[in-house]
Amino acid sequence: MKKKRILAVFISLLLCLATASPAFAQTITVDEGKDGVYSGDILMTQNMRTDFDYLTYYFNGKNPDTDFNDNWEGTGIPGAKGIRRLSKEAGKQADEPTAATLENSQKLIEPENDRTVKNTGKAYTLGEELTLTTTSYSGHKDSPYKFTAKCVAITENCTVWIDVDNTPNGGLLDEAAVTAFANQIQDLYPIITEAFGDSTRIDVDSDGKVAFVFYPLYEFTMGGFFYPNDLEEDSNKMDMVHINSRASEDEGESISQELILGTMVHEWQHLINNAQSGGFQFGIDFDTQYTTRDAIWLDETFAQNSVYLCGLSGKIPTVQMPKYNAYIEENDGSTTVPFAFSGAYIPRTGNLSGGVYVNWYLFGRYLSSQTKDYPGGGDAIFKTILNVIREDVVNPDTGETVKNLGMCNNQSLTEALTQIGYMGTGENAKVKDLNELLSNYNVAAFFRQDSGLYSLGTQEEIGKNVDLSSLSRPEIKTAEEAPQKLPGGSTATFTKIENGSITVDEAAAGEHIRHLGITINYDGVTAEGYSPVDGAMTVDKGTPVALSTTDTDVTLRYTTDGSDPAAETGTVYEGPVTVDQDMTIKAIVTDAYGTSDVAAFNYKVKTEAPAGTGEGTTTDKNADGANPTGSGKNAGTGIAGTQTQTILAAAALLLLATGGCILIRKRVKK
């Protein structure tokens, strides 16, 4: 069997996912700082810039996926010398734009027709064949690409089509396999429309159905896509989404049924979102219309979470998580994966193009979990965001008014959270603005608390089958190792704070840089049964003392010589500590983020009487206060020690005198 290859791209299509090792049980507090001074254990530095200008790069012949020159800003971390590998691209001069580049970019912003419903009343029949065109046939020399598709299934709300020739790359799904998806996707119709609304407004063929068209896309690593231009293509006139019939983890072997259904749902949400918000259909230039009506990063968040809502977020996370981890690794393990952009920008190359889908999935789960106690929150938050700003929009190309369009962008996200009471200044508000929301999400994605502002949600809210244990976290860097610059997209880096506070160089930090001091509050170490009296606990010599902690993923270290243990000093606890003399056990828990306060446990060992002297002393009191304080001499007997010792000695003498007859007689009597 060939070794599996992980799907690399799954563009605006395949899901993501993500995360969480055992929840970080330690609690988190943050310090917003004053005059550039931040306290705590860790400094989180974040580039809040989301207004990445896609067309600035496109029109100037730059590749927006590798040249982040205008998107990198100084961190202001004192002494920072670390520079992420991608930052070497900063300042690189762009080549002169070619004619082909300008021609392609112009196609992106040509005026679009108003896509209100056309009353053609088209009714398709099984076996019917159509010539269809895909205008976004990624990477293929023949784009736009024409092919013949056959209708193989019709349900109440969808039609399913397959390329009759499986050309040019050879599909892995035959007609029978594709047909089997029809009833399954139909069953999901009420779920996805309840969460996001329907796509009636762009039902361009008026058949009342969404068309899922299977054909072999140029890249086997692409699961599918939705592109609004294809709805109006003269040869199409059909509200359609594209599904790759040759999508494969290992080229030549079809992906799982669940993965295909997940792709179908993801792309279906994009079509619905375009119907609800207008997307980029109007004759406004490509960048402006996305900035005003839609932001792809939030649209992708919705699409990723449609998979969760439809119960399909099980195997899908494993597809994108390796890309998420690889992005962190290839960038020196120093930053999170950027995920918040404006307008039309979406990463298309490298590990970022796959890994970013993990963040989009988790951000949606975070939104749902955080707002579940608010009206319009929980899994209804996506529809709330789409509906919060409804307005009539004039098509500047035709002068016609399109009624009641929603939004899916930063503005509608902010407005929705404000109206339900989660954001703002109200008494129940949890965050004051979008920047704080994005910062809290980054902290939550890093620490994964059980509950509260820094929790992604319960396991059920994240996804019953979504295992976060293999999701990487960036390393905590020293100030010298910290990046000098950060790209935007809400990218964060974490720096160790020495001596409890750090002063950042505000003059060197970019205008979008935000800092937070993070304090880790550990539960610390406890000793089993420890109950001191007058500052110490009296125990028998050789007593084992078991240490424990409720903190997770930590190392427990201790000392018995009176010194304080630290992150790299002291003995690593592996089992009970034996108390064979008066001693103080000092212990801490430590991890990559910090150390707990030192816990001290004082023990005194009981002093035993010298054999045969009849004299001796006891220690003060044991844990229960049962032993008397004093010489321990038993009045009238002259036998030293505890009452127990006295009784045992008398019994031994008696047994010797009677030859053991007392014991024997007792047994006989029984």
Residue type, 280: F
Q: What is the CA radius of gyration of the chain?
A: 34
Buried b (16+ CB within 10 A) or exposed e, 125-152: eeeeebebbbebbbeeeeeebebebbbb
Give 53's contacts (C-beta < 8 A, 6+ positions apart): 70, 287, 343
Q: Residue 57: is its pLDDT beyond 60? A: no
**pLDDT tens-digit series, residues 394-440:** 776 667 788 888 999 999 999 999 999 999 999 999 999 999 999 99
Rounded Cα distance, 472 and 458, in Å: 19
Q: What is the mean pLDDT of the chain?
A: 79
Rounded Cα distance, 273 and 293, in Å: 11
Give 360's contacts (C-beta < 8 A, 6+ positions apart): 16, 297, 300, 301, 303, 304, 339
Q: Residue 537: is its pLDDT beyond 60? A: yes
208 φψ region: left (φ > 0), alpha (ψ -120 to 50), beta (else):
left
Residue the block writes with tokens 């993501």: 16
> Is residue 664 packed enough to be buried (19+ CB in 10 Å), middle (13-18) or exposed (0-12)?
exposed
Reported confidence tier of residue 534, pLDDT bands at 50, 70, 90: very high
Residue 638, classed as helix, strand or coil, is coil
Q: Residue 633: is its pLDDT beyond 70? A: no
Rounded Cα distance, 92 and 40, in Å: 37
Residue 166 pLDDT: 73
Contact 78/473 with Cβ under 8 angstroms? no
Q: Flag the least confident range among 193-197, 286-290, 354-358, 639-643.
A: 639-643
**pLDDT tens-digit series, residues 581-598:** 999 999 999 988 889 999
Residue 109 pLDDT: 27
Residue 397 pLDDT: 64
- Cβ neighbours of 567 (radius 10 Å): 13
Report DSSP letters for 391-438, one per residue: EEEE-TTT-PEEEEE--BSHHHHHHHHHHHTSBSSSTT-SBSSHHHHH
What mean pLDDT do residues 139-153 have?
A: 80
Secondary-structure percent of the chain, ordered helix, strand, coil, rounded to 5: 30, 20, 50
Residue type, 590: T
Residue 58 pLDDT: 52
Domains in the chain with CATH codes = 15-51+285-521 (no CATH), 116-280 (no CATH), 526-605 (2.60.40)
Q: For residue 511, give both structure tokens.
A: 């205008």
Backbone angles phi, psi at 245, to 5 degrees: -80, -5
Q: Is the dihedral of CA 61, 66, 71, 73 positive or negative?
A: negative
